[in-house]
Amino acid sequence: MKVTNHLKSGNGKTLFTIEILPPLKGENIKNLYDNIDPLMEFKPPFIDVTYHREEYVYRKKEGGLLDKISTRKRPGTVGICAAIQNHYKVDTVPHIICGGFSKEETENALIDLSFLGVDNVLLLQGDAIKTESKFVAEPDGHRFASELVDQVVRMNKGFYLDEELLHAAPTNFCIGVAGYPEKHFTAPNLKSDLRYLKLKVDMGAEYVVTQMFFDNKKYFEFVAACREAGIQVPIIPGIKPLTGKAQLTVLPKTFHIDIPDELADEADKAKDNVAVKELGIQWAIQQSRELIKAGVPTLHFYSMGKSDPIYRIARELF
Ligand SMILES: Cc1cc2nc3c(=O)[nH]c(=O)nc-3n(C[C@H](O)[C@H](O)[C@H](O)COP(=O)(O)OP(=O)(O)OC[C@H]3O[C@@H](n4cnc5c(N)ncnc54)[C@H](O)[C@@H]3O)c2cc1C
């Protein structure tokens, strides 16, 4: 079932949904199930599965020289989606990225997903390769998420890349895209970022999932600015509980977001990471309560491989 239909089926009641990471290469899928199992108590109607592109690692060769090797540490997004749908009978939303893919590879991945009964995709530019300073598109790939939206919309109408392929089976994907209450870090300003968000929606995106934020005011202002700009689709808030002191610097650096003074101050004063985790859980519960009151369609939790803080939050709310 499509994400948009799940959101409607909530009938005004806020749903509980999660984003998970595929396991590290070599790990057993059982570890993933062990992590998700407790959260199934809160009946997520869909689960997002992130996509992780290749990165470069250096291996020492004989004689001291270094070999630059390309490797994907978390492969398996498509397989995990199929496995989860099969195991839990819950819809999945694979993340599909521009980076590292030619248009044809994207098309083939979408064909696989369609055959597997996956009805949803979240379309993204994708992170830059870790050792590279900026995102670089493949020569025959897409540069911006809006181009991916265009490709999926065309496939949904039965237009594949090969123009000679007549009467091809249309796919039927519900399309989500990302939005940034605190602006995407490469956008010169929020107005410009919203212009491109609107482009994604105008091209066919049916809902937006936001980057994590710790101050609800940022989300409410973002939604208001989106509505003013003519973006009318559901805007799903992304929530991530703070779980350790190091995240006070890692999260702003990685995700280009602010941690409110009050939270940063309390976390700084906390005696250890157990106390920071407790603080983060309580903060996320307060954030969630306010968002539920405001009638958000779902609270979308970023698990980042750890479900126990999310379980604690969900137990209070759902
Ligand atoms: C909910 C969510 C899930 C994510 N999941 C993943 C994941 O699974 N894997 C992963 O690698 N990364 C993921 N990311 C990170 C994401 O890939 C990065 O933030 C990336 O840098 C931007 O992706 P985007 O789709 O928002 O890009 P885009 O919408 O393409 O925008 C990128 C930048 O370009 C600008 N822009 C857009 N279109 C144009 C245009 N036509 N001309 C000029 N400028 C333009 C935008 O304003 C923005 O500054 C996720 C992010 C979010 C919020």
Ligand 1 centre distance from Cα of residue 278 (Å): 31
Question: Is the predicted pLDDT of residue 313 greater than 90, yes or no?
Answer: yes
Question: Is the predicted pLDDT of residue 64 greater than 90, yes or no?
Answer: no
Give the per-residue pLDDT at 154. 98
Do 251 and 260 form a contact (C-beta atoms < 8 A)? no
| CB 147 near ligand 1, within 6 Å | no
pLDDT digit string, tens, across residues 119-159: 999 999 999 998 899 999 999 999 999 999 999 999 999 99
**Residue showing tokens 């108590």:** 41
Question: Is the predicted pLDDT of residue 164 greater than 90, yes or no?
Answer: yes
How far is C-alpha 1 from the geometric centre of its chain's CA atoms? 18
Mutate to test the pocket of ligand 1, among 49, 92, 124 (most ligand atoms within 8 A of CB): 124
Question: Is the predicted pLDDT of residue 59 greater than 90, yes or no?
Answer: no
Give the per-residue pLDDT at 63. 84
Mean pLDDT for the chain overall: 96
Average pLDDT over residues 258-284: 98
Mutate to test the pocket of ligand 1, among 54, 72, 125 (most ligand atoms within 8 A of CB): 125
- Beta bridge partners, 19, equal 48, 302
HEC string of the chain?
A: CCHHHHHHHCCCCCEEEEEECCCCCCCCHHHHHHHHHHHHHHCCCEEEECCCCCEEEEEECHHHCEEEEEECCCCCHHHHHHHHHHHHCCEEEEEEECCCCCHHHHHHHHHHHHHCCCCEEEEECCCCCCCCCCCCCCCCCCCCHHHHHHHHHHHHCCCCCCCCCCCCCCCCCEEEEEECCCCCCCCCCHHHHHHHHHHHHHHCCCEEEEEECCCHHHHHHHHHHHHHCCCCCCEEEEECCCCCCCHHHHHHHHHCCCCCHHHHHHHHHCCCHHHHHHHHHHHHHHHHHHHHHCCCCEEEEECCCCCHHHHHHHHHHC
Higher pLDDT, 62 or 144: 144
Give the per-residue pLDDT at 305. 86
| CB 211 near ligand 1, within 6 Å | yes
Give the per-residue pLDDT at 203. 98
Average pLDDT over residues 109-114: 98
Count other Cβ atoms within 10 Å, centred on residue 287: 21
